[in-house]
Amino acid sequence: MPRNAEAGRRSILLGTTTTLAAFSPYARAQAQTTDPLPSWNDGPAKHAILDFVRIATSQIASEDRIATFDQDGTLWVEHPVYTQAMFALERVHTLAPQHPEWRTYEPFKTVLANDEAAIAKFSERGWAEILFATHAGMSQAEFLQIVTEWLATAKHPRFRRPYTELVYQPMLEVMNYLRTNGFKTYIATGGGQDFVRAYAQKVYGVPPEQVIGSSIATKFEIKDGKPELIRQPRLFFDDNYTGKAIGIDLFIGKRPYAAFGNSTGDREMLEWIGAGEGPRLKMLVHHDDAEREYAYGPAGGLPDTSVGTFSRSLMDEAEAKDWAVISMKQDWQRVFRV
Amino acid sequence: MPRNAEAGRRSILLGTTTTLAAFSPYARAQAQTTDPLPSWNDGPAKHAILDFVRIATSQIASEDRIATFDQDGTLWVEHPVYTQAMFALERVHTLAPQHPEWRTYEPFKTVLANDEAAIAKFSERGWAEILFATHAGMSQAEFLQIVTEWLATAKHPRFRRPYTELVYQPMLEVMNYLRTNGFKTYIATGGGQDFVRAYAQKVYGVPPEQVIGSSIATKFEIKDGKPELIRQPRLFFDDNYTGKAIGIDLFIGKRPYAAFGNSTGDREMLEWIGAGEGPRLKMLVHHDDAEREYAYGPAGGLPDTSVGTFSRSLMDEAEAKDWAVISMKQDWQRVFRV
C-alpha cells in the first residue's frame, strides 16, 4: 500500500516553499507534472534519489557522473528463472532436431522433457553446458540476431507478456532522471553482456558500449572469406560479486557515484562505490510484492546461497551502511513499463 | 619533402568550384582557415580522411560513428622503446632500494646496470617480470598517480622533451575532426590500458572509458578497511593482433568505421573493420622520416617479426586492400604537437 504522498516529504526538494506548495492546488498540480519520478511513492527511497541528484549536480564533475545498474531483478523481472536461462532452454528445443544425441544426453534430455522440477536442480556445470551449447558457435552478429528474434515472440510464463515489457517503470525513470542530470548510465549485469546488448538501447536507452556483463571468449576467424568474431564455449569474464567492481573498473576506469542492485551478486559493487569520496548513492531493490511481481529475499525467506537472492546478511549490511532499500510494494506506485 | 599542395587535389572536396577557388586569393585564405587538417599536406592520405568523413556523415547513423586508434607509433613516438617500457625501466631504478635482491637477480641486474644492449635483447618473459614488478601490487588509483607523476618529469632520450609533447599533431587533428563530425574516438592500444588512461583525456581528449588496451588482472581487496582493486602480477587481456578486434567488440559491441594503426599488431583490427558494410577508413602510419622522427618498417628495413614494425607483408596487404598509408615524410607538414 502506498504511503501518504505528502507525509514523508522533506523540505530539501522544494526548499522553504514546501508547506505553502502543499496547500496550493495549482502548485501541487505543477509539482506533479514536473516530478521526474512519477511512478515512485513519496518516501525515503524516492528522497534518497532526489537528494543525491541535487547534491551530485553541484559536487560531481560532469565527466565523472557514472551510474551502474544491475539488470536481472533490478531493471526487469528475474523470476521464476532469469530471462536468459529461459532463452537458453527454449533454444535447446529449437536446436534439438540438429542434435539427435541430446535425446539421451543430460542435461539436454531433461530440458527436452520439460521436467521443470529437475531443471530447477541443475548444477552450475549443467547450466554451463546448456549455455555454451546455445550461446557459442556463431558470430557476434548472428547471436545478436538470434536474441532479437527470440525476444520478439517470447513471453513470460506468468505475465504472458514479452519480457521487454516487464521492465520496471520506476527504474526507467531513475535512469532517465540521472541522464537528464548529466550521468552516463551503465548496465553491470551478471548475465550475458551480448545478450543484454541485443536490446539495451531499445529497452533502457543504454547503448552497447555501456553494457558490461559476463562474457564468453570470442575468436577471430575468417568465415566465408571475411573476418568475424566467433563465440567460443568458454567463459571469459564472470561479472558477479567482486567481478562487478572489477568489470566496471576495466570498462570505465572510474568509480561510479551511483549503483543499483538487488542481490548478493551486487554486494561488492555497492561496497566499492561506497568507499569512494563524495556523495554516493547505493540502492537495493527488495522484491516484497508477491501480488504485483514476486516476494523473495528477506520478504520471501529464500536461503542466503544462490545468486539472485537478497539475503538477510545483505539486508543487515544495507542497514549498517545506510544503503537505501527500495520496497517494491511501498515505494513503487506502478511496477511495469507497460 | 611535401608534395605540391594543389597537385593531388581531387574535386570531391570543394566540388566544381575547386579550380576557381585555387585562383582566388580570398577563397584560398578562407579555405586555409577552415581546413580541419592544417598539419596535413595535400595528398591521398588527407583526401582519404576528408572523403570518408563527408560520406560517413551522410551514411552512418550517429550512434555507430566509432573510430579506433592504436597509440604507440600511431599517436605518439614509440622509438627507441615504448614509453611504457621506459617507465618500467626507470621504475626499477626508483624501487631498487626496496629490492636489494635485484642487484644480483636478472633481468633487474641488467636494468640497474643500464646495459642498453642487453636490455634491447630481453625476452618477452624478461619484460613480463619487469612489467609485473613495476605495474602490480598497488591499487588502480595509486598506479594512476605513479604514472601521472612520472610523465610530469620524464623526457624522451633523443628529443629531450616530455613524452606527452611527442604526440603527432596531424593525428590530433584527425581525432578532433572525427569528433566534430559525431564520431566517438577510442584508443585501442597494445600497451597498458591503465597506463594510457592516466593521460588520455588530457593529451588526446579521450576519456578513460574510451581507452581499450592490454590489462593485468585486478583483485577486490579490503585495504585499510576500504575495498580497493589491487593490481595483480598476471596478464588479463592481450590487446594485440586478433586481440584488438576482440577487445574492441568486448568493450564497444560495434564494428568501428575507421581505424588507424602503424604495425602488424594492428593488422587484424583493420581487416575486421574492413569486412564491415558501408564506408570504412583503414589507415596506417608509415614512419619514413628519419630526420623529424624515425624511419622503420619498409622505409627502414626492420625485420617482419617484432610488434611495432610495419612489415613488408603489411604493406603488401595495405596495397592489395586499398588501405590508406600515411607517409610521415610526405603527408605531415608538422609532426609533433609542440
Chain A nearest-CA distance from B154, in A, is 24
For chain B, counts of helices (H) and of strands (E): 15, 7
> Can you give the pLDDT at residue B2?
37
Which of A209, A252, A275 minimises the CB distance to B226?
A275
Q: Which residue has the higher pLDDT, A295 or B144?
A: B144
- DSSP reduced 3-state for A219: strand
- Per the prediction, chain A carries an average pLDDT of 89
Exposure of A127 in the CB half-sphere (CA atoms within 13 A): 14
Give the pLDDT of residue B307. Answer: 47
Show which residues on chain A lie within 8 Å of chain B, measured between beta carbons.
Answer: 63, 140, 184, 193-194, 197, 201, 207-209, 211, 215, 218-220, 226-229, 236, 242, 245-246, 249-254, 268, 271-272, 275
Model pLDDT, residue B299: 76
Q: How confident is the model at residue A185 (pLDDT cuts 50, 70, 90)?
A: very high
B46 to A119, B31, B38, B235: CA distances (angstroms): 60, 15, 10, 38
Residues of chain A above pLDDT 70, percent: 88
For residue A38, the distance in angstroms to the closest alpha carbon of chain B comes to: 29
Residue of A140, A228, A245 lying closest to B229 (CB–CB) = A245
Residues of B within 8 A of A195 (CB-CB) are none
- Grid coordinates of B208: 578513460
pLDDT at A302: 54
b/e for B151-186, b at 16 or more Cβ within 10 A? beeeebeeeeeebbebbbbbbbbbbebbeebebbbb
What residues form DSSP beta bridges with A327?
A286
> 3-class secondary structure for A239-298?
CCCHHHHHHHHHHHCCCCCEEEECCHHHHHHHHHHHCCCCCCEEEEEECECCCCCCECHH
A197 → closest Cβ in B226, B242, B253: B253
- The CA-based diameter of chain A, rounded to the nearest angstrom, is 73
| CA torsion through residues A228, A198, A72, A117, sign | negative
Interface predicted TM-score of the whole assembly (ipTM), two decimals = 0.89
| Residue A111 scores a pLDDT above 90 | yes
Q: Do A207 and B245 touch (CB under 8 A)?
A: no
Measured in degrees and rounded to the nearest 5, phi and psi for residue A18 equal -55, -50
Gap from B196 CA to chain A (nearest CA, Å): 11
Residue ranges of chain B with per-residue pLDDT less than 70: 1-33, 301-308
For A36-94, what is each residue's pLDDT tens digit? Answer: 999 999 999 999 999 999 999 999 999 999 999 999 999 999 988 899 999 999 999 99
Given this model, what pLDDT does residue A303 score? Answer: 53
Q: Work out the average pLDDT over A271-296.
A: 95
> What residues of B are in the A interface, CB distance below 8 Å?
63, 140, 184, 193-194, 197, 201, 207-209, 211, 215, 218-220, 226-229, 236, 242, 245-246, 249-254, 268, 271-272, 275
Q: What is the mean pLDDT of residues A271-280?
A: 96
- At B333, the amino acid letter reads Q
Mean pLDDT of A282-296: 94
| Lookup result for grid cell 537478497 | A310
Counting one residue from chain A and one from chain B, the pairs whose CB atoms sit within 8 A come to 81
User: Among B228, B245, B250, whose Cβ lies nearest the Cβ of A220?
Assistant: B245
Round to whole Å and give the CA distance between A22 and A31: 9
